[in-house]
Amino acid sequence: MAELSLDQNVSHHNGSHASQRVSQLVGHKRFVRHNPLSDRFEMKRFHHLEFYCGDATNTSRRFAWGLGLSQVAKSDSSTGNPLYASYVLQSQELVFVFTAPYASTPPSSSVAAAPSQPSHRIAEASPSLAPSPHPAFDSSMAMGFFGRHGLAVRAIGIEVHDASQAYEACLAHGGKGVLAPQILKDTATGQVKWIAEVLAYPGNDAEVVLRFVSGDFDGPFLPNYQETPIPPLSYGLQRIDHVVSNVPQLLPVVNHLMEMTVWEGGKGGKEGCGGQARAGLHEYAEFTSTDVGTVDSGLNSLVLASNNERVLLPVNEPTFGTKRKSQIQTYLEQNQGAGVQHIALKTDNIFATMRELKKRTHLGGFDFMPKASPEYYQSLPAKIGPGVLTDEELACVEELGLLVDKDDQGVLLQVFTRPVGDRPTLFLEIIQRVGCTVDKEGKRLPEQAPGCGGFGKGNFSELFKSIEEYEKTLNV
């Protein structure tokens, strides 16, 4: 496919100068990576992802069992929450939250109809907790969200230095507010968290939010969730590496996200080249259909990153004019709009993690995409070069159906699940990054630099073929 372009009189941001907008994709080979360190507000890391679903109890249990996550906190009717059930799962820094509404309207009274029966007051259920931890939860909206999208990510939680500042900065630069800054105070300790939400994508039908989180609360998840003393469970998953969105049109979305987090020279920030404004979330990588597609289908993709590159947000759009409908278009149809396509979960031992996950595939866990062709694995030693993976590790790669890619910094090992729900929409990626180690937060704990090894450009073709074969079995 030809390079993308928009009718805009603005240059492409390629690292050689400051620019607010991306006017076209130049492709992987011509893209020059550059970090302008330009966040208007500090983004530290992914704090959590919240999924809206129809049954939080069973959905959370499946993810806990299938991925090795421990339930660390809850808010439901047993804690005095009359609006929704919400369960928090965690493995190291990885936090998933599964939330389902009870009813479209809250109960009018906690007192039973018969006068002789005792009332069930919220205070009796859990006197130390607030009834509903989220101050603006809308049961009708949550039900509608699940009806439109099925099991899907509602909120991308990002830990920031100041949630209120992040919210105001976004609104000042074209963002649309969903939840104005709210202070959540833990009734037991007095510690607080601030949260605020803005829409992640532009457009009237956008529903995924960026949820900014800050504050000193050190309990599980957010204030007024009840801690659940359940024995820890972990298969080695460490944190969210990146969160990928599918949208109808790429450039309006990435420009919206970049401009929403901009700071301007001369207004209390550092000036860019020529004193111009510079984008906050910066462009980290990009791929066009000529880089990653097959003869049958394709996509265009651009990766955004925060200053510290711990928040990585790839965005995909479909391409047209190919033999088969793009998988991205299938997603948009089945999801009824833009949303989170997949979540990459990082481990530092993908072999051990995948053995645990595959043990549970047919016991309520997750199915994985079929492994690549024998020719793919035969070509790996030449592809990645000597001294990267041992012969034993290469054998494990083929046994477990992993894909391997490399860039100028390191090596990426990855594998993808099939869609995790009934619709061919949301799926998961398990990854390990090898090489380009850095000290973790100034300590002598080596950790792979964010984005080390890239995003699997060299595997897109194999992955596309696998997905194309899978979609042939579906009536989509």
252, 299, 382, 415, 467 from 330: Cα distances, Å: 20, 12, 35, 21, 11
- Out of 227, 255, 270, a domain closes at 227
H-type helices in 15-138, by residue range? Answer: 56-67, 122-125
Q: Which of 395, 406, 396 is nearest to 459 (CA)?
A: 406
Statement to judge: residues 281 and 220 lie in one domain: no
In terms of average pLDDT, the best of 183-192, 244-253, 404-413 is 244-253
**pLDDT tens digits for 365-390?**
999 999 999 999 999 999 888 888 99
Asked, for residue 111, whether it belongs to a domain, the answer is no
Statement to judge: residues 65 and 212 lie in one domain: yes
From CA 386, how far away is CA 396, in angstroms rounded?
17
Give me the residue label for tokens 């901009």: 262
Statement to judge: residues 424 and 459 lie in one domain: yes
Domain of 89, CATH number, reads 3.10.180.10
H-type helices in 200-349, by residue range? Answer: 250-260, 289-292, 327-335
Statement to judge: residues 127 and 264 lie in one domain: no
Is it the case that residue 293 has pLDDT exceeding 70? no
From CA 244, how far away is CA 408, in angstroms rounded?
22
**pLDDT tens digits for 233-268?**
899 999 999 999 999 999 999 999 999 986 544 333
Distance of CA 103 to the CA centre of its chain: 27
- Out of 180, 207, 227, a domain closes at 227
Asked, for residue 254, whether it belongs to a domain, the answer is yes
Asked, for residue 118, whether it belongs to a domain, the answer is no
**pLDDT tens digits for 106-156?**
666 554 444 434 333 322 334 456 678 998 999 999 999 999 999 999 999
The helix-helix angle for 374-384 and 391-400 (nearest 10°) equals 140
Statement to judge: residues 446 and 334 lie in one domain: yes
Statement to judge: residues 440 and 297 lie in one domain: yes
The count of structural domains within the chain is 2
Statement to judge: residues 179 and 56 lie in one domain: yes
Domain residues for 178? 43-106+123-227
Q: What is the pLDDT of residue 432?
A: 94
Statement to judge: residues 287 and 141 lie in one domain: no
From CA 79, how far away is CA 220, in angstroms rounded?
15
Look at residue 368 and give its three-state secondary structure.
strand
Is it the case that residue 456 has pLDDT exceeding 80? no
Q: Average pLDDT of 451-469?
A: 62
- Out of 179, 203, 227, a domain closes at 227
Beta strand 312-318 pairing with 299-305? antiparallel
User: Phi then psi for 160, rounded to 5 degrees?
Assistant: -125, 170
Q: What is the pLDDT of residue 408?
A: 75
Statement to judge: residues 241 and 222 lie in one domain: no
DSSP 298: -
The token duo for 401 is 């159906």
Is it the case that residue 363 has pLDDT exceeding 80? yes
Cα-based angle 65, 79, 214 (whole degrees, multiple of 5): 75
Q: Yes or no: say if 80 and 107 are a contact pair by the CB < 8 Å rule.
A: no
Q: How many CB atoms lie within 10 A of CB 262?
A: 22
Asked, for residue 14, whether it belongs to a domain, the answer is no
Q: Yes or no: say if 301 and 313 are a contact pair by the CB < 8 Å rule.
A: no
Statement to judge: residues 220 and 296 lie in one domain: no
User: Phi then psi for 216, rounded to 5 degrees?
Assistant: -100, 0
Is it the case that residue 278 has pLDDT exceeding 50? no
From CA 240, how far away is CA 246, in angstroms rounded?
18
Statement to judge: residues 54 and 197 lie in one domain: yes
Q: What is the pLDDT of residue 38?
A: 47
Look at residue 154 and give its three-state secondary structure.
strand
Q: Which of 286, 299, 302, 291 is nearest to 325 (CA)?
A: 299
Statement to judge: residues 248 and 208 lie in one domain: no
163, with CB counted inside 10 A (0-12, 13-18, 19+), is buried
Q: Name the pLDDT band for 273 (thresholds 50, 70, 90).
A: very low
Q: Average pLDDT of 262-279?
A: 40
H-type helices in 284-423, by residue range? Answer: 289-292, 327-335, 350-359, 374-384, 391-400
Mean pLDDT of the chain: 82
User: Phi then psi for 397, rounded to 5 degrees?
Assistant: -55, -50
